[in-house]
Protein backbone atom coordinates (compact mmCIF):
# COMPACT_ATOMS: atom_id res chain seq x y z
CA UNK A 1 0.00 0.00 0.00
CA UNK A 2 1.18 3.48 -0.66
CA UNK A 3 -0.14 6.96 -0.42
CA UNK A 4 -1.27 7.01 -4.04
CA UNK A 5 -3.90 4.43 -3.16
CA UNK A 6 -5.35 6.77 -0.59
CA UNK A 7 -3.72 5.04 2.33
CA UNK A 8 -3.14 7.52 5.07
CA UNK A 9 0.44 7.95 6.21
CA UNK A 10 1.31 6.19 9.44
CA UNK A 11 0.71 9.23 11.59
CA UNK A 12 -2.95 9.27 10.58
CA UNK A 13 -3.49 5.51 10.58
CA UNK A 14 -6.39 4.56 12.83
CA UNK A 15 -5.88 0.80 12.41
CA UNK A 16 -4.58 -0.79 15.61
CA UNK A 17 -1.92 -3.38 16.23
CA UNK A 18 1.24 -1.87 14.78
CA UNK A 19 3.29 -2.36 17.93
CA UNK A 20 1.91 -5.81 18.64
CA UNK A 21 2.37 -7.26 15.15
CA UNK A 22 5.74 -5.58 14.66
CA UNK A 23 7.02 -6.94 17.95
CA UNK A 24 5.66 -10.41 17.35
CA UNK A 25 6.87 -10.65 13.74
CA UNK A 26 10.39 -9.48 14.54
CA UNK A 27 10.80 -11.63 17.66
CA UNK A 28 9.40 -14.74 15.96
CA UNK A 29 11.52 -14.32 12.85
CA UNK A 30 14.61 -13.71 14.97
CA UNK A 31 14.07 -16.78 17.11
CA UNK A 32 13.09 -19.15 14.33
CA UNK A 33 15.23 -17.96 11.45
CA UNK A 34 17.67 -15.10 11.95
CA UNK A 35 19.51 -16.19 15.09
CA UNK A 36 19.86 -19.83 13.93
CA UNK A 37 21.10 -18.69 10.51
CA UNK A 38 23.58 -16.27 12.04
CA UNK A 39 25.26 -19.14 13.91
CA UNK A 40 26.26 -20.48 10.52
CA UNK A 41 28.05 -17.27 9.62
CA UNK A 42 29.67 -16.89 13.04
CA UNK A 43 30.82 -20.49 13.13
CA UNK A 44 32.50 -20.03 9.75
CA UNK A 45 34.24 -16.78 10.64
CA UNK A 46 35.63 -18.56 13.70
CA UNK A 47 37.51 -21.13 11.64
CA UNK A 48 39.82 -18.75 9.81
CA UNK A 49 40.22 -18.00 6.14
CA UNK A 50 42.77 -20.70 5.35
CA UNK A 51 40.79 -23.55 6.77
CA UNK A 52 37.62 -22.26 5.08
CA UNK A 53 39.32 -21.97 1.71
CA UNK A 54 40.92 -25.39 2.06
CA UNK A 55 37.49 -26.96 2.62
CA UNK A 56 35.55 -25.19 -0.10
CA UNK A 57 38.08 -25.84 -2.89
CA UNK A 58 38.74 -29.50 -2.08
CA UNK A 59 38.19 -31.60 -5.22
CA UNK A 60 35.19 -33.50 -3.85
CA UNK A 61 33.39 -30.29 -2.94
CA UNK A 62 34.21 -28.61 -6.24
CA UNK A 63 32.91 -31.66 -8.12
CA UNK A 64 29.70 -31.40 -6.09
CA UNK A 65 29.31 -27.70 -6.93
CA UNK A 66 29.79 -28.49 -10.60
CA UNK A 67 27.18 -31.23 -10.57
CA UNK A 68 24.73 -29.18 -8.49
CA UNK A 69 24.99 -26.14 -10.74
CA UNK A 70 25.06 -28.13 -13.98
CA UNK A 71 22.15 -30.43 -13.12
CA UNK A 72 20.10 -27.56 -11.67
CA UNK A 73 20.66 -25.52 -14.85
CA UNK A 74 19.68 -28.51 -16.99
CA UNK A 75 16.56 -29.14 -14.91
CA UNK A 76 15.54 -25.49 -14.99
CA UNK A 77 16.12 -25.35 -18.74
CA UNK A 78 13.97 -28.44 -19.38
CA UNK A 79 11.31 -26.91 -17.16
CA UNK A 80 11.46 -23.60 -19.03
CA UNK A 81 10.71 -25.25 -22.37
CA UNK A 82 8.12 -27.74 -21.15
CA UNK A 83 6.73 -25.38 -18.50
CA UNK A 84 5.86 -22.92 -21.24
CA UNK A 85 4.30 -25.72 -23.24
CA UNK A 86 2.22 -26.91 -20.28
CA UNK A 87 1.11 -23.37 -19.43
CA UNK A 88 0.15 -22.79 -23.09
CA UNK A 89 -1.89 -25.97 -23.28
CA UNK A 90 -3.64 -25.25 -19.98
CA UNK A 91 -4.52 -21.66 -20.85
CA UNK A 92 -5.34 -21.92 -24.55
CA UNK A 93 -7.00 -25.30 -24.98
CA UNK A 94 -10.10 -26.82 -23.47
CA UNK A 95 -9.99 -30.59 -23.07
CA UNK A 96 -11.32 -33.23 -20.72
CA UNK A 97 -9.35 -33.41 -17.50
CA UNK A 98 -7.83 -29.97 -17.95
CA UNK A 99 -8.65 -28.77 -14.44
CA UNK A 100 -7.29 -32.00 -12.93
CA UNK A 101 -4.02 -31.63 -14.82
CA UNK A 102 -3.92 -27.98 -13.77
CA UNK A 103 -4.18 -28.98 -10.11
CA UNK A 104 -1.66 -31.83 -10.50
CA UNK A 105 1.06 -29.48 -11.74
CA UNK A 106 1.64 -28.52 -8.11
CA UNK A 107 2.22 -32.15 -7.08
CA UNK A 108 6.03 -31.81 -6.80
CA UNK A 109 5.40 -28.98 -4.37
CA UNK A 110 2.99 -30.96 -2.18
CA UNK A 111 4.64 -34.38 -2.35
CA UNK A 112 7.27 -35.11 0.33
CA UNK A 113 10.68 -35.25 -1.32
CA UNK A 114 11.49 -38.70 0.04
CA UNK A 115 8.38 -40.07 -1.69
CA UNK A 116 9.43 -38.39 -4.92
CA UNK A 117 12.92 -39.79 -4.49
CA UNK A 118 12.02 -43.44 -4.03
CA UNK A 119 9.37 -43.28 -6.77
CA UNK A 120 11.60 -41.71 -9.40
CA UNK A 121 14.38 -44.15 -8.52
CA UNK A 122 12.03 -47.08 -8.91
CA UNK A 123 10.62 -46.09 -12.30
CA UNK A 124 13.89 -44.80 -13.77
CA UNK A 125 16.10 -47.69 -12.61
CA UNK A 126 17.18 -50.26 -15.21
CA UNK A 127 14.19 -52.54 -14.54
CA UNK A 128 11.68 -49.79 -13.84
CA UNK A 129 8.69 -48.77 -15.97
CA UNK A 130 10.54 -46.06 -17.87
CA UNK A 131 14.13 -47.06 -17.11
CA UNK A 132 13.59 -50.38 -18.89
CA UNK A 133 12.90 -48.66 -22.21
CA UNK A 134 15.76 -46.25 -21.77
CA UNK A 135 18.11 -49.07 -20.78
CA UNK A 136 17.35 -50.96 -23.98
CA UNK A 137 18.35 -47.78 -25.81
CA UNK A 138 21.58 -47.79 -23.82
CA UNK A 139 20.64 -44.89 -21.55
CA UNK A 140 21.17 -45.29 -17.82
CA UNK A 141 19.30 -42.83 -15.63
CA UNK A 142 19.27 -43.99 -12.01
CA UNK A 143 22.64 -43.72 -10.22
CA UNK A 144 24.08 -41.43 -12.91
CA UNK A 145 24.21 -37.63 -13.22
CA UNK A 146 21.23 -37.96 -15.56
CA UNK A 147 19.22 -39.29 -12.63
CA UNK A 148 20.08 -36.14 -10.69
CA UNK A 149 18.74 -34.08 -13.61
CA UNK A 150 15.51 -36.13 -13.62
CA UNK A 151 14.96 -35.52 -9.88
CA UNK A 152 15.73 -31.81 -10.15
CA UNK A 153 13.42 -31.48 -13.16
CA UNK A 154 10.65 -33.04 -11.09
CA UNK A 155 11.04 -30.69 -8.11
CA UNK A 156 11.23 -27.60 -10.35
CA UNK A 157 8.25 -28.52 -12.51
CA UNK A 158 5.61 -26.16 -11.02
CA UNK A 159 7.65 -22.97 -11.15
CA UNK A 160 7.73 -21.99 -14.83
CA UNK A 161 4.14 -23.17 -15.36
CA UNK A 162 2.94 -21.04 -12.45
CA UNK A 163 4.84 -17.91 -13.44
CA UNK A 164 3.90 -18.09 -17.15
CA UNK A 165 0.24 -19.12 -16.70
CA UNK A 166 -1.13 -15.83 -15.26
CA UNK A 167 0.76 -13.73 -17.82
CA UNK A 168 -0.60 -15.84 -20.66
CA UNK A 169 -4.09 -15.57 -19.20
CA UNK A 170 -3.93 -11.78 -19.02
CA UNK A 171 -2.41 -11.38 -22.47
CA UNK A 172 -4.84 -9.33 -24.52
CA UNK A 173 -6.09 -11.17 -27.61
CA UNK A 174 -6.09 -7.84 -29.47
CA UNK A 175 -2.30 -7.96 -29.62
CA UNK A 176 -2.32 -11.23 -31.52
CA UNK A 177 -5.21 -10.12 -33.71
CA UNK A 178 -3.35 -6.95 -34.57
CA UNK A 179 -0.32 -9.01 -35.52
CA UNK A 180 -2.56 -11.21 -37.65
CA UNK A 181 -4.23 -8.36 -39.54
CA UNK A 182 -0.80 -6.95 -40.25
CA UNK A 183 -0.01 -10.22 -41.97
CA UNK A 184 1.96 -12.12 -39.34
CA UNK A 185 1.97 -15.89 -39.38
CA UNK A 186 1.33 -17.82 -36.16
CA UNK A 187 5.03 -18.40 -35.63
CA UNK A 188 5.82 -14.73 -36.22
CA UNK A 189 3.05 -13.68 -33.83
CA UNK A 190 4.50 -16.00 -31.22
CA UNK A 191 8.10 -14.93 -31.67
CA UNK A 192 7.48 -11.19 -31.97
CA UNK A 193 4.41 -10.56 -29.83
CA UNK A 194 3.71 -13.35 -27.34
CA UNK A 195 7.30 -14.41 -26.69
CA UNK A 196 8.58 -11.02 -25.51
CA UNK A 197 5.54 -10.64 -23.24
CA UNK A 198 6.23 -14.03 -21.63
CA UNK A 199 9.99 -13.64 -21.36
CA UNK A 200 10.20 -12.05 -17.87
CA UNK A 201 7.87 -14.71 -16.47
CA UNK A 202 9.87 -17.53 -18.04
CA UNK A 203 13.14 -16.14 -16.73
CA UNK A 204 11.67 -15.70 -13.24
CA UNK A 205 10.34 -19.26 -13.30
CA UNK A 206 13.72 -20.50 -14.50
CA UNK A 207 15.46 -18.75 -11.61
CA UNK A 208 12.97 -20.10 -9.05
CA UNK A 209 13.34 -23.65 -10.39
CA UNK A 210 17.11 -23.30 -10.35
CA UNK A 211 17.14 -21.99 -6.77
CA UNK A 212 14.90 -24.81 -5.61
CA UNK A 213 17.04 -27.41 -7.40
CA UNK A 214 20.31 -26.14 -5.90
CA UNK A 215 19.15 -26.85 -2.35
CA UNK A 216 17.26 -30.06 -3.08
CA UNK A 217 18.18 -33.09 -1.02
CA UNK A 218 15.35 -35.59 -0.56
CA UNK A 219 14.51 -36.47 -4.12
CA UNK A 220 18.16 -36.60 -5.20
CA UNK A 221 19.57 -38.75 -2.41
CA UNK A 222 17.89 -41.94 -3.67
CA UNK A 223 18.31 -41.63 -7.43
CA UNK A 224 21.86 -40.29 -7.49
CA UNK A 225 23.59 -43.23 -5.82
CA UNK A 226 25.77 -40.70 -3.93
CA UNK A 227 29.11 -41.52 -5.49
CA UNK A 228 31.70 -38.91 -4.45
CA UNK A 229 33.13 -36.96 -7.42
CA UNK A 230 30.44 -38.36 -9.72
CA UNK A 231 26.86 -38.14 -8.49
CA UNK A 232 27.15 -36.21 -5.25
CA UNK A 233 25.33 -32.85 -5.04
CA UNK A 234 26.26 -30.14 -2.53
CA UNK A 235 23.46 -30.76 0.03
CA UNK A 236 24.56 -34.41 0.06
CA UNK A 237 28.17 -33.48 0.82
CA UNK A 238 26.95 -31.30 3.69
CA UNK A 239 24.84 -34.19 4.98
CA UNK A 240 27.80 -36.58 4.80
CA UNK A 241 30.01 -34.15 6.74
CA UNK A 242 27.32 -33.78 9.39
CA UNK A 243 27.00 -37.52 9.75
CA UNK A 244 30.77 -37.69 10.28
CA UNK A 245 30.44 -34.89 12.87
CA UNK A 246 32.72 -32.69 10.74
CA UNK A 247 30.79 -29.52 11.60
CA UNK A 248 33.50 -27.18 10.34
CA UNK A 249 33.45 -28.75 6.91
CA UNK A 250 29.67 -28.73 6.81
CA UNK A 251 29.36 -25.07 7.84
CA UNK A 252 31.97 -23.88 5.35
CA UNK A 253 30.26 -25.60 2.42
CA UNK A 254 26.84 -24.52 3.69
CA UNK A 255 27.93 -20.88 3.83
CA UNK A 256 28.97 -20.95 0.18
CA UNK A 257 25.58 -22.51 -0.67
CA UNK A 258 23.78 -19.86 1.35
CA UNK A 259 25.61 -17.05 -0.45
CA UNK A 260 24.69 -18.59 -3.82
CA UNK A 261 21.03 -18.93 -2.75
CA UNK A 262 20.82 -15.33 -1.58
CA UNK A 263 22.42 -14.13 -4.79
CA UNK A 264 19.75 -16.01 -6.75
CA UNK A 265 17.01 -14.64 -4.48
CA UNK A 266 18.27 -11.12 -5.07
CA UNK A 267 18.31 -11.78 -8.81
CA UNK A 268 14.73 -13.07 -8.69
CA UNK A 269 13.65 -9.88 -6.92
CA UNK A 270 15.27 -7.80 -9.66
CA UNK A 271 13.59 -9.98 -12.30
CA UNK A 272 10.19 -9.54 -10.72
CA UNK A 273 10.62 -5.79 -10.63
CA UNK A 274 11.65 -5.94 -14.28
CA UNK A 275 8.60 -7.97 -15.28
CA UNK A 276 6.29 -5.66 -13.33
CA UNK A 277 7.70 -2.69 -15.18
CA UNK A 278 7.26 -4.58 -18.48
CA UNK A 279 3.64 -5.32 -17.66
CA UNK A 280 2.94 -1.75 -16.61
CA UNK A 281 4.04 -0.34 -19.99
Partner 1 sequence: MLSDEGEIARVARESYAWLAPHDPASAVRRATVERGRTRALLIGGTLLFLMLFLFIPLAAVFTEALRNGVGAYVQAIVQPEARSAIALTLLTAAVAVPLNLVFGIAASWLITRFEFRGKNLLSAMIDLPLAVSPVIAGMIYVLLFGEQGWFGGWLAAHHIKVVFAVPGIILATTFVTCPFIARELIPVMEAAGREEEEAALTLGANGWQMFFRITLPNVKWGLLYGLVICNARAMGEFGAVSVVSGHIRGLTNTMPLYVEILYNSYDFAASFAIASLLTLLALLTLAAKSLLARRARRASEASPVHQSVKPAA
User: x/- string (CB under 8 A) for partner 1, residues 199-238?
Assistant: ------------x--xxxxx---x-----------xx--x
Smaller CB separation from partner 1, 44 or 63: 44
Subset of residues 69 to 108 that bind partner 1, contact rule: CB under 8 A:
82, 85-86, 88-89, 93, 95, 99, 101-108
Stretches 46-54, 57-65, 253-261, 270-278: which one binds partner 1 (CB under 8 A)?
Answer: 253-261
Closest distance to partner 1 from the beta carbon of 183 (Å): 6
Subset of residues 130 to 169 that bind partner 1, contact rule: CB under 8 A:
130, 153-154, 157-159, 162-163, 165-166
45 binds partner 1 (CB under 8 A): no
170 binds partner 1 (CB under 8 A): no
CA-nearest of 207, 73, 235, 233 to 145 is 233
DSSP annotation of 47 reads T
Smaller CB separation from partner 1, 63 or 216: 216
CA-nearest of 108, 139, 110 to 126 is 139
Please give the sequence-ordered ranges of beta strands (E in DSSP) within the chain, or none if there are none: none
Which of 127, 173, 280, 281 forms a contact with partner 1 (CB under 8 A)? Answer: 173
279 binds partner 1 (CB under 8 A): no
Distance between CA atoms of 78 and 70, rounded to whole angstroms? Answer: 12
Q: HEC states along 141-200?
A: CCCCHHHHHHHHHHHHHHHHHHHHHHHHHHCCHHHHHHHHHCCCCHHHHHHHHHHHHHHH
Closest distance to partner 1 from the beta carbon of 53 (Å): 20
Closest distance to partner 1 from the beta carbon of 81 (Å): 9
The helix (H) or strand (E) run that includes residue 121 is helix 113-124
Query: Cβ contacts of residue 253 below 8 Å, gap of 6+?
Result: 55, 56, 61, 234, 237, 238, 241
120 binds partner 1 (CB under 8 A): yes
Closest distance to partner 1 from the beta carbon of 200 (Å): 15
Subset of residues 180 to 199 that bind partner 1, contact rule: CB under 8 A:
180-186, 188-189
CA-nearest of 125, 130, 159 to 144 is 125
The helix (H) or strand (E) run that includes residue 59 is helix 59-92
Amino acid sequence: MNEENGTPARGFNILPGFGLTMGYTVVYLSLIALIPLSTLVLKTTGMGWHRFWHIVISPRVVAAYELSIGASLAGALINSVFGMLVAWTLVRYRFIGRSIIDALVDLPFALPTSVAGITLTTIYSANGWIGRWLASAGIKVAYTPLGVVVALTFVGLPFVVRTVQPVLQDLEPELEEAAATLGASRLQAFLRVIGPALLPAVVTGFALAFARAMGEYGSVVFISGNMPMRTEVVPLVIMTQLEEFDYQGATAIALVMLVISFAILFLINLLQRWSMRRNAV
